Amino acid sequence: MFIKRNLILIGLLLITFFATAQKVAEPPTTNNPEWSKPYEPFQIAGNLYYVGTYDLACYLIVTPRGNILINTGLAASAPMIKANIESLGFKLSDTKILLNTQAHYDHMGAMAAIKKSTGARLMIDAADAPVVADGGYSDYLQGGSVSLFAPVKVDCILHNGDTIKLGGMKLVMLHHPGHTKGSCSFLFDVKDTARSYKVLIANIPTVIIDNHFSDISRYPDMAKDYAYTLHAMKNLHFDIWLASHAGQFDLQSKHKPGSAYNPSAFIDRKGYDAELKYCEEQYLKKLK
């Protein structure tokens, strides 16, 4: 397994981690019950599985050398994710690599607990790594006083185009900033007995600020980053696409609990383009 490393940055992240670990607050409240609502785990395609909640998407990639878990949902979802993985016949303890699409508490909440229980290596986009290490304390929008989730030690820093390798799997990390400074997507291939599929786990660039971009002093490059990401994502090629939130790729309409294995349900370029179009419309409104 080969990953580019930046030891100096990791050292700085460790300092931030220990300096802020005692300031963890209760997670921000949410009125969205779908974030914690259970959802039956299932096989998406080949060795790729859905193990998240009704709306907070978490993905398990199974390999002969251990498994990769992408996203962890809310802090309280750790037992649910473990149960989902075990119900599929796998072990949470076999997780070797942890990845994340964005450093927000609804995707990072259970990361510290799962990392501690598995000993897996956490690999994070360089621009989100400080936020992960201080538990959201330095988040441009929600941080500033206390950590929003348990700080987590970052083991490996990722940059755009880096490849994550484990047990024959190769995932390319794509830097897609805007939603957070280090939002990212993952592009990789899986296969079953019928065919192979190029899969994109996309961090859809939704605009979450209420003000104009110019009002967000803690993220002065936000507008530029969104423009870059929207352009880059329009030019991606894939067969199957998924996202950080199940609602973004209409999971519930494409897969009903207990239904048969059907990778083709997630081949939906039209839906992907529609999501990007909506994000671009919101982006243009904030520019005015």
Q: Tens-digit pLDDT profile for the chain (288 aa)?
A: 444 444 444 444 443 443 344 345 555 556 689 999 999 999 999 999 999 999 999 999 999 999 999 999 999 999 999 999 999 999 999 999 999 999 999 999 999 999 999 999 999 999 999 999 999 999 998 777 778 999 999 999 999 999 999 999 999 999 999 999 999 999 999 999 999 999 999 999 999 998 889 889 999 999 999 999 999 999 999 999 999 999 999 999 999 999 999 999 999 999 999 999 999 999 999 987
Rounded Cα–Cα distance for residues 275 and 112 (Å): 31
Range of the domain at 186: 7-20+33-287
> CB-based contacts of 20: which residues, under 8 Å, 6+ apart?
134, 135, 137, 147, 151
Q: Which of 160, 156, 49 is nearest to 99 (CA)?
A: 156
Burial 37-47 (b: 16+ CB within 10 A, else e): eebebbbbbbb
Q: What pLDDT, on the 0 to 100 scale, is given for residue 31?
A: 65
Distance between CA atoms of residues 174 and 184, nearest Å: 5
In a domain, 25, yes or no: no
Of residues 163, 26, 181, 15, the one with CA closest to residue 103: 181
Strands (E), 64-204: 66-70, 95-99, 121-125, 156-158, 163-166, 169-175, 184-191, 196-202
Does residue 26 form part of some domain?
A: no
User: Would 120 be classed as within a structural domain?
Assistant: yes
Q: Are residues 72 and 114 in contact, defined by beta-carbon separation less than 8 angstroms?
A: yes
Structure tokens of 231?
Answer: 């352009």
Within a domain: 28: no
In a domain, 187, yes or no: yes
Amino acid letter at 144? Answer: G
CATH code, domain carrying 117: 3.60.15.10
Is position 1 within any domain? no
Q: What is the spatial distance between Cα 58 and Cα 106, in angstroms, rounded to a whole number?
A: 11
Q: pLDDT value at position 27?
A: 56
Gap between the Cα atoms of 64 and 47, Å rounded: 10
**How distant, in Å, are the alpha carbons of 41, 116, 199 from that of 85?**
8, 17, 20
- Note the pLDDT of residue 106: 96
160 and 173 in contact (C-beta within 8 Å)?
Answer: yes
Decide if 41 is inside a domain.
yes
Q: Say if 27 falls within a structural domain.
A: no
CA angle 177, 173, 55 (to 5 degrees): 70
Residues 209-233 pLDDT 10s: 988 898 899 999 999 999 999 999 9
Q: Give CA–CA dist 54/102, Å, rounded.
A: 18
Task: Note the helical H segments in 26-128.
Answer: 78-87, 105-108, 111-118
Domain tally for the chain?
Answer: 1
